[in-house]
Amino acid sequence: MPANLTPQYYEAEEKYRRASSPEERIQALEEMLAVIPKHKGTEKLQGDIKKKLAKVREEGKKKKSASKGYDPFGVEKQGAGQIVLAGYPNSGKSSLVTSLTRAKLKVADYPYTTAIPATGMMPYKDTWVQLVDTPPLMEDNVPPGLIGTFKEADALLIVIDVSTAECLEQMEGVMKVLQDREVIDLSEEGEIIAPVPFLVVANKIDHPEAEENLEVMQELMPDFDPLTVSTDNSSLEELKEKLYKLLDVIRVYGKPADRPADMERPFILKRGSTVLDFAEQIHKDFPDQLKNALVWGSSKFDGQPVARDYILADGDIVELQL
């Protein structure tokens, strides 16, 4: 028997998929249970929702009971991906996050302004990227728990202050810590091979001595070609583009049958994902039910039928056929 799910149910399901806290997930699941049509065709789905609801409630209780063991360096991921910043004191990490996200972080001229990770959401086209500012990182000062934050990140942004002649020392120091702690790794040719991808930026390039300092650093470390940025110029737009590409993800838009595609809330998938991966992100039962799909964008023509293993591209619109 067909489920004949209503638009109200799909709206509640969308709220659940985008919920970022146990409270929001519980509210969305309760709404899904309230609006789902009650008949034999939805009995299994109702059971699944009740199981999810019980699980989320239990997780919420465990989280509250474990609040005494709170880890200040554990940052819950949000948006299209999480990029964590690393750099020496006064390298300008907080200023960059503030400029890119408009988050109200504490910015000061004295070192160690940031004591624990602080987050902001960077808008990129029709999605968001989470940026995480962190306490300063130096060879002789690695805050406990900070390495775990780096290892859990989807990517890193290494910030070097080229307004100071010590920029080379900063670059060498940060790279040594991250490589010694197995956060990043490079080939002999200087290529990133594992496990966390990263981008290096030469910050404060508008300083009078920055160009000369950068030139010296590049002569001594020719394998690195950092992006030059400043919070006071248009380089931030290029930085946004590079940060998003660093995540290596794509945006895919869902299109229900006989309805327009939702172009405001894309699904985020890793590059190389297939129609089957997209179906699984929407609902865990869909991969078993999926026959094929219609694709607009990377396909040869709009609405082209494609197989389950069709590899999607950024900006594709997909209608699943179950």
**pLDDT, position 120:** 92
Name the nearest CA neighbour of 169 among 95, 220, 231: 220
pLDDT, residue 320, reads 92
CA distance 156 to 69: 26
What are the tokens at 70?
Answer: 């709170």
d(CA 49, CA 127): 27
Question: Residue 53 to residues 16, 23, 29, 84, 254: CA-CA distances in angstroms?
Answer: 11, 11, 6, 32, 25
pTM of the predicted model, to two decimals? Answer: 0.74
The strand pair at 292-296 and 82-87 is best described as unpaired
Contact at 8 Å (CB) between 214 and 167? yes
Torsion sign, CA atoms 170, 176, 181, 185: positive
Please state whether beta strands 118-124 and 155-161 pair in parallel, antiparallel, or not at all (unpaired).
Answer: unpaired
Burial-class residue 166 by CB neighbours within 10 Å (0-12, 13-18, 19+).
middle
Give the CA radius of gyration of the chain.
Answer: 23
Task: Label the pairing between strands 155-161 and 82-87.
Answer: parallel
Structure tokens at 282: 């929407």
Distance (Å, whole) CA 257 – CA 2: 15
Element (H, E) at 241: helix 235-247
Report d(CA 136, CA 114) in Å as an integer: 7
3-state secondary structure of 278: helix
DSSP 79: B
- What is the SS3 string spanning 157-214? EEEEECCCCCHHHHHHHHHHHHHHCCCCCECCCCCECCCCCEEEEEECCCCCCHHHHH
Residue ranges, the chain, pLDDT below 50: 1
Pair type for strands 292-296 and 118-124? unpaired
Residue 279 CB contacts under 8 Å (≥ 6 apart), including other chains: 286, 287, 290, 293, 308, 320
Structure tokens of 76?
């819950």
Two tokens, residue 283: 């609902």
In single-letter form, the type of residue at position 53 comes to L
Q: Could you give all domains of the chain from N- to C-terminal order, each with its CATH number?
A: 1-69 (1.20.58), 82-247 (3.40.50.300), 249-322 (3.10.20.30)
Report the distance separating Cα 25 and Cα 17, nearest Å. Answer: 8
- What pLDDT is stored for residue 236 in this prediction? 92
